[in-house]
Amino acid sequence: MISRWLKSERLLLTVLLLAALLVRLYRVDNPVLDWHAFRQADTASVTREYVKHGIDLLRPHYHDLSNIQSGQPNLEGWRMVEFPLINGLLALLLRALPNWPLVFISRLFSIIASLGSLSFLYFLVKKLTKSRKMAWLSGFFFAFLPYSIYYSRVILPEPFMLLFSLGSLYFFATALTLKKPFTNWRWWASAVLLSLAILLKPFVVFLFPVFAVLFWQAWKTGHWSIRFSDWGWWLIYLLIALLPFGWWRTWIEQFPSGIPASDWLFNGNGIRFTPAWVRWIFYERLTKLILGFGGVILAGVAMFFSKNRLKTILWAWALSLLAYVMVLATGNVQHDYYQVIFIPLVSICLGVGTWQTWQWFNAFFAKKNIQLKLARLSLIILIFLNFYLTWQQIKGFFNVNHWEYQKAGRAVDRLVPTDAKLIAPAFGDTQFLFQTNRTGWPIGFEIQNKIDQGATHYVTTSLDDEARELAETYAIIEKNDLFLLLDLTKPQP
């Protein structure tokens, strides 16, 4: 009985989920001052504004009042990017439990989402391969790839985008195995989850070929036949998936100052198809940062030597993501979190490639016990070497490089009125502004113009010419070796 329980699928998956949870708790209490803190701070500030002023999903605000993001003055602090469903849910919880820390709970929400993604990935691979072992190995890589670990505990839409898109794929694949898929709840769950994923990150549409291949394979097997009347169900599915995003994009056009400029993401610096683009996408990011060099071998095994049905799906997935990095060329080069959408495919390829290689060793060295053990050991060493090499790239992501921002921010929160509007210069980076728990400007210059727009205080950790000049003009609230805090409403006596 105990032996059977220890070998049970449920136990193995539970152990994997618990292990994944533990590694994602590494530095989970960090302030929003780690890698890509700029984007994390902007996302977290939407939640904080909801907590402070009430939840209105159609009119999200955030802390940055500058014109940096959209090119237009944004004194209302509009934030019109992804639909703020997750921010609203978090704010609902934090308004009910006001003593809970916003940053920690936001990171914890992302971790929970990643565990849900891991579960969907496991069951999707199991359904596609009919193999618990390949499913578990795929989940193992999703759980422990350092790149996956870091981006599973950030305050970004990406963890939830993976949750919804993988959930949609799993329910879609499951519904297609039924005699009447269109009348099953899984069909509608897939459509709704896909819609939510697109609302968070519209580039999820690049995964449509994967859905198409799953449909084609299900139809080709003859499990169910398509009648002319069935095309209406497909149309409804597409409408559910796409209409909410179309409505959201139309809605936010009323708030142009809150829509960040995005044209540059496509090919703003002309890098597409250049040697630099190839290097950054395929070497620096995929080979080095995510796969750890040797992972390319295991992924290649999966792509070229897996069973035909799975191989077709993997190639459709890979080509879809290739199209994605081609279209959003500059965005993918400049921001490594744009490759988060690769994590499920990479995890599957590594899991399937590992299992296939293990099976090859078993067959080739069937009667050579010592050689078999050495081959297996070499595979295990390769995997852990991959983890080590990628960890060397990722470990710095967890570091906080500006503790002085947090200390200055706490002083502001203690000494400055809650309705103050702050200038917190950090070359346009909002991570410093976020620490102050106030709205304002993340850049200096044109101070009088900002005062005219409502700025009441100034805080800086750099005693530069601007700071020294302002300190001679306005009242000093606090000055020390770390920061300078000024009241712009009171001149020096």
DSSP string, 350-389: HHHHHHHHHHHHHHHTTT-HHHHHHHHHHHHHHHHHHHHH
Report the predicted TM-score, pTM, of the whole model to 2 decimal places: 0.95
| Per-residue model confidence (pLDDT) at position 226 | 63
| Per-residue model confidence (pLDDT) at position 368 | 80
What are residue 491's phi and psi, to 5 degrees?
-75, 160
> How much of the chain, in percent, has pLDDT values that exceed 70?
97
Q: Report whether 259 contacts 80 (CB < 8 A).
A: yes
Q: How far apart are CA 263 and CA 260, in angstroms?
A: 9
Residue 421's SS3 state is strand
pLDDT in tens, 59-70: 999 999 999 999
| Per-residue model confidence (pLDDT) at position 1 | 45
| Per-residue model confidence (pLDDT) at position 222 | 66
Exposure string over 333-359, b if 16+ CB within 10 A, otherwise e: beebbbbbbbbbbbbbbbbbbbbbbbe
| Per-residue model confidence (pLDDT) at position 4 | 60
Could you write out the DSSP letters of every residue in 239-261? Answer: HHHHHHHHHHHHHHTT-GGGS--
Report residues of the chain scoring pLDDT below 50.
Answer: 1-2, 5-6
**Long-range contacts formed by 463-466: CB under 8 A, 24+ apart:** 466/425
**Long-range contacts formed by 99-102: CB under 8 A, 24+ apart:** 102/44, 102/47, 102/48, 102/51
Closest CA to 286 of 330, 239, 340, 334: 340
Closest CA to 175 of 194, 159, 162: 194
Q: Report whether 29 contacts 39 (CB < 8 A).
A: no
| Per-residue model confidence (pLDDT) at position 8 | 77
| Per-residue model confidence (pLDDT) at position 50 | 98
Residue holding tokens 């080709």?
220
Q: Report whether 405 contacts 433 (CB < 8 A).
A: no
User: Mean pLDDT over all residues of the chain?
Assistant: 94
| Per-residue model confidence (pLDDT) at position 7 | 59
